[in-house]
């Protein structure tokens, strides 16, 4: 069987699954959730973190482009048929712009190592900024989009199976990230990050300002070049769920996406161990600058040490919500009820993850206004019973 025949067979299977009535039901239910009037709890199992969910030996195409597309098709088909969660498969195959993002003036090599099972998920960075003086090596970045290469890829896939599964040029991928403390970690490493806030605070200020300007310049470039693709549809955004909502795109949208029309994921996990004073002095201004050009922002507060930053984050007028996660191996979020109520008193949306038996306590103790609860049940019957009780337990 030729590469083309393999893709056409898979594309036909994809289209059959995408045309199932349940896909429109799920899309409606995800939209209701994001529009703050959920019909039921929604669930996504992230198979992208399963190594070898689709193995190389499962692939039959020889052409590198077709082989990569084959893997994507097989991955999504297997997920839909096997997992049974609320993943949405759209009746189209998306192609994204080929964008070249240069380094920061210094390369950041990644070193991978194989585990005992032959996997290679583990890696580390060779951080290039060894001393504060190395910050002098940072250079403003410029980006390049290879339109001919993108259009060629679009044309080849359209010719291969576009009459079965439409191939569309969407723009940028759905997940749009705004957590720039990761850039500081990648450049300087965790040890330097924690030491330089004492020994070289001016350098940390300088690097964070550089990363802030770099991120804003990148978003501005994407918008001016007309490269953005809306992420308010079935594609996964942020922490991993469809971004369907009627609130986006923003007013004034005329067909070409702008930054203000996008969901953008904000977090700063790398500074969890930074004191509140240093966080407010060095990192909070950078976070606030990012909220200024976004219409809707939610901040990912990961780990109990990061809870110390909640009061400062709640002072940001354009930060609309906080996701509070105690972290792996830590007690339930309800253990930190004072923090949860602080967020709600500040008028911010609140997202928490709870076991099903904890939902009643949460809804009786917390306002249901702007409250997102992620939970799970042992059976469909248990889930439906929980949903029937939610309205009775909720209060404004």
Using pLDDT thresholds of 50, 70 and 90, give the confidence band for residue 218. very high
Establish if 288 belongs to a structural domain. Answer: no
- In terms of Cα–Cα distance, which of 182, 173, 175 is closest to 302? 182
Q: Six-digit token pair at 233?
A: 């549809």
Contact 245, 31 (CB under 8 A): yes
Using pLDDT thresholds of 50, 70 and 90, give the confidence band for residue 78. very high
pLDDT at position 396 is 62
Tens-digit pLDDT profile for residues 223-244: 999 999 999 988 888 767 888 9
Q: What is the mean pLDDT of residues 79-88?
A: 91
Q: What is the mean pLDDT of residues 30-51?
A: 81
DSSP conformational letter for 296 = S
**What's the mean pLDDT when you consider all of the chain?**
90
Q: How many domains does the chain have?
A: 1
pLDDT at position 161 is 98
Establish if 58 belongs to a structural domain. Answer: yes
Using pLDDT thresholds of 50, 70 and 90, give the confidence band for residue 298. confident
Establish if 167 belongs to a structural domain. Answer: yes
Tens-digit pLDDT profile for residues 108-127: 998 888 777 667 778 889 99
- In terms of Cα–Cα distance, which of 182, 185, 184 is closest to 207? 184
pLDDT at position 239 is 66
Tens-digit pLDDT profile for residues 154-204: 999 999 999 999 999 999 988 877 778 899 999 999 999 999 999 999 999
**Range of the structural domain that residue 13 is part of:** 1-95+143-171
Establish if 203 belongs to a structural domain. Answer: no
Task: Return d(Cα 100, Cα 47) in angstroms, integer.
Answer: 27
Using pLDDT thresholds of 50, 70 and 90, give the confidence band for residue 374. confident
Q: Six-digit token pair at 190?
A: 């965790």
pTM: 0.84
73 preceded by a cis bond (ω within 30 of 0): no
Look at residue 32 and tell me whether its pLDDT is greater than 80: yes
Establish if 157 belongs to a structural domain. Answer: yes
Highest mean pLDDT among 31-40, 77-86, 119-128: 77-86
Establish if 382 belongs to a structural domain. Answer: no
Contact 244, 24 (CB under 8 A): no
pLDDT at position 327 is 85
Look at residue 133 and tell me whether its pLDDT is greater than 80: yes
Establish if 331 belongs to a structural domain. Answer: no
pLDDT at position 225 is 97
Establish if 43 belongs to a structural domain. Answer: yes
């Amino acid at each position: 069987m030729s590469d083309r025949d393999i893709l056409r067979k898979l594309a036909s299977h994809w289209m059959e699954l995408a045309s199932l009535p349940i896909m429109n039901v799920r899309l409606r239910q995800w939209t209701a959730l994001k529009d703050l009037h959920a019909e039921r709890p929604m669930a996504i199992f992230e198979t992208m973190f399963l190594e070898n969910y689709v193995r190389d030996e499962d692939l039959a195409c020889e052409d590198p482009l077709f082989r990569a597309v084959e893997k994507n098709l097989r991955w999504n088909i297997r997920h839909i048929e096997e997992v049974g969660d609320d993943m949405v498969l759209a009746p189209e195959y998306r192609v994204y712009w080929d964008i070249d993002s240069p380094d920061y003036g210094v390369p950041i090599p990644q070193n991978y190592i194989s585990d005992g099972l032959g996997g290679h998920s583990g890696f580390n960075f060779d951080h290039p900024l060894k001393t504060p003086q190395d910050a002098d090596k940072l250079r403003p970045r410029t980006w390049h989009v290879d339109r001919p290469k993108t259009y060629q890829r679009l044309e080849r896939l359209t010719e291969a199976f576009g009459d079965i599964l439409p191939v569309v040029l969407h723009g940028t991928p759905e997940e749009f990230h705004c957590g720039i403390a990761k850039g500081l970690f990648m450049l300087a490493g965790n040890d330097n990050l924690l030491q330089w806030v004492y020994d070289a605070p001016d350098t940390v200020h300088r690097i964070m300002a550089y990363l802030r300007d770099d991120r804003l310049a990148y978003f501005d470039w994407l918008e001016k070049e007309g490269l953005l693709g809306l992420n308010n549809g079935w594609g996964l955004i942020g922490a991993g769920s469809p971004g369907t909502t009627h609130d986006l795109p923003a007013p004034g949208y005329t067909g070409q996406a702008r930054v203000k029309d996008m969901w953008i994921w904000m977090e700063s996990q790398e500074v969890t161990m930074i004191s509140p004073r240093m966080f407010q002095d060095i990192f909070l201004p950078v976070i606030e600058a990012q909220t200024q050009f976004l219409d809707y922002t939610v901040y990912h507060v990961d780990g109990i040490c990061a809870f110390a930053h909640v009061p400062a984050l709640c002072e940001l007028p354009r930060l609309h919500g906080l996701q509070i996660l105690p972290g792996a191996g830590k007690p339930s979020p309800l253990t930190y009820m004072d923090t949860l109520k602080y967020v709600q008193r500040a008028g911010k949306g609140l997202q928490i993850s709870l076991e099903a038996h904890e939902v009643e306590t949460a809804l009786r103790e917390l306002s249901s206004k702007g409250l997102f609860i992620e939970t799970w049940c042992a059976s469909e019957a248990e889930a439906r019973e929980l949903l029937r009780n939610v309205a009775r337990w909720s209060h404004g």
